[in-house]
């Protein structure tokens, strides 16, 4: 079937209405790189947890003007069917990646040709502001041209509904069905109609800033410690357009921009990857931060939905925090301040993904706040906000992949507001001469020492796709009975939507949508989750371990114990030296 798809797609692009440059590139790849050509044509790009995302190049499995145009026509057809007799409006934004502005213009051209009014940001802007603009301008949809934190070869296309959140089922499938119904470029309306295009900018910026400023819980602490030294790097992305200004409006007076990474650059020329999750990406900022003696380092990815953080540890050195740590710190700070100020009304909730630390759960329970677990992907947190709207008040959402959302005026993870709130927390802790790591250790004493590690393996192309499918099948058919000496007590299979209890063999339903995720829970409260990435050619292993921390004095001992347990789990799963071979 895949071979037939490849031949059909290849012939279609060679003889169809595609520009000469595209057809010349196909012929070049056919001669010089048949493996890449096969990967570019054996399937069509699909909407995953982050929308349409892929390597830029020719072919239906690549991001180019034709796949962008096809997706946009599909969105247009979907909107026309679902909002008949309405004047349709769509907000469009783009990040700093190569071709992002061009793909945004292609998007606007197709939408306007379909008689849909477009609000196009006149300059690059972060994805959370796009989500905000959809709601502020009462749009039917929003489109963001970005590949988030992916390598420079990638670009992508995030689609948002009229609530400012990315589409989930069944809407995402409905959009894809409309895209799949387009069999030729002749079905796409390409001719731009300028009468349907309006540029937006400062006015939306200011309204967004006003909403972010309203999140502040301790202006007195900021006023007292307004001069804490903050180093910020946008990692060549969109954050430079808003975050320095947002921090200034919050009241911070000593924000330093990392000059060499300040300019938008789709090649991300000073970093190995535009992902603040990776230590190598943060090294320049860490070195500069030590040189300048800063209190806090903040970084954001190209579309500014992920936040990287480094702060002073007990030895006075800058140390990186991971996404679970930052989410836990912000969650605790917000809930504790709302509690102190007696602002709870009894129907608040927080949300997290199933691969995010359970420390968030413990914090929520302590403050008598409801917690909700959702599938990986912030769109599922946004789905809960919409589902509970009018009945329950959303407070905070976090995911281990460095994403947080404070408040509900945005419906995707928002590093702009997260940076402001993290800076406020540092300022507030400075009142008692505490650091983020001091607070984190206190949380571990009070709620349990949770430690997590993510191990990702990249497997590119069709061969990689096949391997990942086989590996997931192997773990399903031959699940481990013990992992590093601890019995597996339950298996959570989100594809079959069942939890199986190993001792009794009884099972119960998982009340979440189907997803290709496996989770093993052991007797000593370790949790191992395995899932293919929805946005990259990767398979991911999330390892979570837990121990009691009797006192802060025991931190080093327990930390080492947890590190050794993680390494033991990796050895038990045979992922300590790469991925295991699969016997045919």
> Within a 10 A sphere around the Cβ of 36, how many other Cβ atoms?
18
Give which of 523, 511, 538, 447 is closest to 487, Cα–Cα.
523
Determine which one of 38, 100, 109, 148 is catalytic.
148
Q: Which residues pair with 55 in a beta bridge?
A: 154
List of residues 6+ apart from 453 with CB closer than 8 A: 542, 543, 566
* Catalytic site includes residue 148: yes
**And the tokens for 563?**
């590190």
List of residues 6+ apart from 214 with CB closer than 8 A: 407
List of residues 6+ apart from 463 with CB closer than 8 A: none
Q: Which residue has the tokens 């197709």?
A: 110
> Within a 10 A sphere around the Cβ of 560, how many other Cβ atoms?
10
d(CA 479, CA 488): 9
**And the tokens for 178?**
């409309």
**And the tokens for 357?**
């630390």
SS3 letters across 529-566: EEEECCCCCEEEEEEEEEECCCCHHHHHHHHHHHHHHH
Q: Tell me the DSSP string of 115-168.
A: T-EEEEESS---HHHHHHHHHHTT-SEEEEE--TTS-TTEEEEEEE-TTSSB--
SS3 letters across 162-216: CCCCECCCCHHHHHHHHHHCCCCHHHCCCCCCHHHEEEECHHHHHHHHHHHHCCC
Q: Which residue has the tokens 């972060």?
A: 126
| Collapsed DSSP state (helix, strand, coil) of residue 321 | strand
List of residues 6+ apart from 263 with CB closer than 8 A: 236, 240
**And the tokens for 287?**
């070195």
Residues tagged active-site = 148
């Amino acid at each position: 079937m895949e071979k037939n798809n490849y031949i059909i797609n290849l012939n279609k692009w060679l003889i169809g209405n595609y520009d000469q440059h595209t057809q010349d590139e196909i012929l070049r790849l056919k001669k010089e790189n048949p493996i890449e050509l096969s990967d570019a044509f054996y399937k069509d790009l699909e909407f995953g947890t982050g929308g349409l995302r892929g390597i830029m190049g020719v072919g239906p499995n690549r991001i180019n003007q034709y796949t962008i145009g096809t997706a946009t026509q599909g969105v247009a057809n979907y909107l026309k069917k679902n909002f008949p007799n309405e004047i349709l409006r769509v907000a469009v934004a783009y990040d700093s990646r190569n071709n992002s502005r061009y793909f945004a213009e292609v998007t606007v051209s197709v939408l306007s040709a379909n008689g849909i009014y477009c609000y196009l940001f006149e300059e690059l802007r972060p994805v959370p502001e796009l989500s905000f603009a959809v709601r502020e301008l009462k749009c039917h949809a929003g489109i963001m041209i970005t590949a988030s934190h992916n390598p420079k070869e990638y670009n992508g296309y995030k689609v948002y509904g009229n609530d400012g959140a990315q589409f989930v089922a069944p809407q995402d499938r409905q959009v894809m069905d409309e895209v799949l119904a387009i069999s030729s470029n002749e079905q796409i309306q390409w001719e731009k109609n300028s009468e349907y295009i309006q540029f937006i900018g400062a006015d939306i910026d200011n309204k967004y800033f006003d909403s972010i400023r309203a999140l502040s819980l301790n202006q007195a602490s900021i006023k007292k410690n307004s001069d804490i030294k903050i180093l910020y790097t946008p990692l060549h992305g969109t954050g430079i357009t808003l975050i320095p200004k947002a921090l200034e409006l919050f009241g911070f007076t000593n924000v330093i921009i990392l000059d060499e990474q300040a300019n938008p650059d789709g090649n991300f020329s000073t970093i190995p990857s535009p992902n603040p999750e990776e230590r190598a990406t943060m090294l320049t900022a860490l070195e500069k931060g030590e040189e300048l003696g800063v209190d806090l380092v903040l970084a954001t990815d190209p579309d500014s939905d992920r936040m990287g953080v480094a702060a002073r540890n007990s030895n006075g050195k800058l140390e990186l925090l991971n996404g679970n740590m930052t989410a836990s710190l912000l969650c605790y700070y917000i809930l504790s301040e709302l509690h102190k100020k007696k602002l709870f009304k009894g129907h608040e909730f927080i949300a997290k993904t199933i691969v995010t630390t359970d420390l968030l759960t413990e914090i929520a329970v302590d403050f008598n706040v409801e917690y909700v677990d959702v599938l990986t992907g912030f769109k599922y947190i946004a789905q809960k906000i919409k589902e509970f709207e009018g009945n329950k008040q959303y407070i905070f959402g976090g995911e281990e992949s460095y994403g947080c959302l404070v408040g509900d005026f945005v419906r995707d993870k928002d590093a702009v507001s997260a940076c402001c709130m993290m800076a406020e927390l540092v300022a507030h802790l400075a009142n008692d001469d505490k650091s983020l790591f001091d607070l984190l250790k206190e949380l571990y004493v009070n709620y349990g020492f949770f430690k997590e590690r993510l191990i990702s393996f990249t497997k590119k192309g069709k061969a990689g796709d096949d391997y990942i499918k086989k590996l997931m099948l192997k773990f399903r058919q031959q699940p481990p009975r013990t992992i590093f000496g601890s019995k597996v007590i339950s298996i959570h299979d989100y594809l079959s939507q069942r939890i199986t209890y190993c001792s009794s063999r009884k099972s119960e339903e998982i009340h979440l949508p189907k997803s290709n995720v496996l989770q093993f829970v052991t007797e000593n409260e370790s949790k191992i989750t395995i899932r293919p990435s929805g946005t990259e050619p990767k398979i991911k292993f999330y390892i979570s371990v837990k121990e009691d921390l009797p006192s802060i004095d025991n931190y080093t001992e327990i930390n080492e114990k947890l590190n050794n347990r993680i390494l033991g789990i990796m050895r038990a799963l045979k992922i300590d030296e790469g991925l295991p071979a699969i016997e045919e």
